[in-house]
Structure 1
Amino acid sequence: MAPARRRGLAEEVADRIREAVFDGTYAPGAQLREVELSGDMDVSRGPVREALRLLEREGLVHCAWHRGTTVTTLSATDVEELDSLRGALEDLAVRQVVARASEEDLASLAKAAEMMERAVDAHEMVRCDIAFHDAVFAATGHQRLTDAWNGIRCQVHLFLLTRIGHSTEDYLGRIPREHRELVAALRARDAGTALDLFAVHRRLAVDVVRGTTQPG
């Protein structure tokens, strides 16, 4: 058997670029130039090129011949597909949490929701939102379901960045409130209410991105 590869420079470069996308340094549609990235990070262009390929597989960037690499801009179809898949995964996750989660798991969800109260800006709130949903899937005790969530996690993060790019009106106040309601329903092991609340939570964000409703 071939020797196992250690974590390489390309993965570290990918981590730094991903972080720059998530903190708003590179917004959706921003150009990512290999020469500039390699200079900024003091690495050769090879690891940068490989890092961009890794990020393309995650759906965070789009590489096009003669047009270079840009941070992914989600189309209406992208939003629809991502929302429908996320909904299917979260519906199963809610049922699993209601049926199987321990009190310790539910306490972890409550703690993740409480972290939102201390978010100081919209980008930090998006991180807290993703962390809450990480905790939901972790609480399912369903490894393949969690793996499926991890497969779209970065794209959901990008979607939420797109959402705050449209509007942040009442965002810092509204998101913690929504998640407190989600936790209460899960702690009550009320699957029907929890499913409805998760669906509303998703729909409100999608409607902001589509421009079909005003946040508030």
Structure 2
Amino acid sequence: MPSPALNRASRRGLADESADRIRDAIFSGEVPPGGPLREVELATALGVSRGSVREGLRILEREGLIRTGWHRGTTVIEITPEDVREVYAVRAALDRLAAVTARDTATEAQLGELDALVGAMAAEIAGNPSGQRLVSLDIAFHDAVYLAAGNRRLTEAWRAVRSQVYLFQLRRVALGFAHYRARVVTEHRDLATLIRSGDRDTLAHTAEEHVTTAHRGLLAHLP
């Protein structure tokens, strides 16, 4: 397959910048699940050395977005039911803890940010909704919850699976947008309301059920 039309890397840190551009190409679908990532082609497209690309690919491998095999080369992960079960099981535990912690620690400004993100989702739905835009807002909402929780190690644990969650949610939208679209605003609004003033046990259950719904929605449509 032809190499993706990537934006050329800037000079802030070529390995990180290369990882950012390749990650964007994966999330946009330019490089699909199972698609190859060849160092020479990527280096040419990005305008950087093969060493910078190699280091960038290592970053993405640590994020769980790509796999490297001695005989298979480097490819974007193919999403299997086992991958979905494992990632969403970890996410459910993390999101539950983040939500109940944010309930106790969030500032009024942080609570306002959650409300604003829900409003942006509702506005997107009311127009000509883009699945990629909705997923971006979805992930931004959860980023904001972890920030409001104020627990550095919890945030680091979230970052370790964030890229995979992002990719899985994009896949969920691609396979079953109607299921996602029907729930995305209500579920996030419920979370924002409960983080502001809800019962702790209800919030914990709602946060976990939100992830379970995503898990089931993806598995229901995954080939």
Deviation at 1:121, TM superposition (A): 0.9
Corresponding residue of 1:132: 141
Letter in 2 for 1:183: A
Partner Cα separation in structure 2 for residue 77 and residue 171 of structure 1 = 21
In 1: Cα distance, 2:67 partner to 2:123 partner: 33
1:4-59 deviations in whole A, cap 9, x for unaligned?
xx953121111100111122222222221222212222223222122111111111
Structure 2 unmatched runs, 5+: 1-10
Say if 2:93 and 2:208, in contact at 8 Å, map to a contact too: no
Q: How far is the alpha carbon of 1:172 from its aligned partner?
A: 3.3
Aligned runs of 1:188-207 on 2, under 5 Å? 188-207=197-216
CA distance in 2, matches of 1:212, 1:16: 28
Match of 2:160 among 134, 142, 151: 151
Once the two structures are TM-superposed, the CA of residue 152 in structure 1 deviates from its matched residue by: 1.4
Matched, 1:62 2:43: no
Say yes or no: does 1:162 pair with 2:167.
no
Query: What is the aligned partner in structure 2 of residue 110 from structure 1?
Result: 115
Cα–Cα, structure 1 residues 210 and 171, in superposed 2: closer, same or farther, change >3 Å?
A: closer
Partner in structure 2 of residue 84 of structure 1: 89
In structure 2, C-alpha distance between the alignment counterparts of 1:21 and 1:142, rounded to whole Å: 29
Give the match for residue 188 of structure 2: 179
Letter in 2 for 1:180: R
Counterpart residue identity of residue 172, structure 1: R
Which secondary structure does the structure 2 equivalent of 1:43 belong to?
coil
2:70, 2:44 → 1: CA distance?
Answer: 22
Q: Distance in 1 between matches of 2:197 and 2:67?
A: 43
Q: Is the 8 A contact 1:10 1:51 kept in 2?
A: yes
Moved more, 134-143 or 101-110: 101-110
Check the 8 A contact 2:176/2:217 in 1, yes or no.
yes
* Structure 1 CA distance for aligned equivalents of residues 82 and 13 of structure 2: 34
Q: Could you list the per-position Cα deviations for residues 137-195 of structure 1 after superposition, in whole angstroms to 9, with x for gaps in the alignment?
A: 11112222112111211111122122123211253343122211211222223222222
Please point out which of 42, 63, 66 is paired with 1:37.
42
The residue type paired with residue 131 of structure 1 is A
In the TM superposition, residue 204 of structure 1 has moved relative to its aligned partner by 1.6
Aligned pair 1:16/2:21, yes or no?
Answer: yes
TM-score by structure 1 length?
A: 0.87
State the Cα deviation string for residues 75-130 of structure 1 (Å, max 9, x = none): 22222221121111111112212222222221121112222234441111111111
TM-score, length-normalised on structure 2?
Answer: 0.85
Counterpart selection for 1:51 from 51, 56, 59: 56
SS of alignment partner, residue 31 of structure 2: coil
Counterpart of 1:115, as a letter, is: A
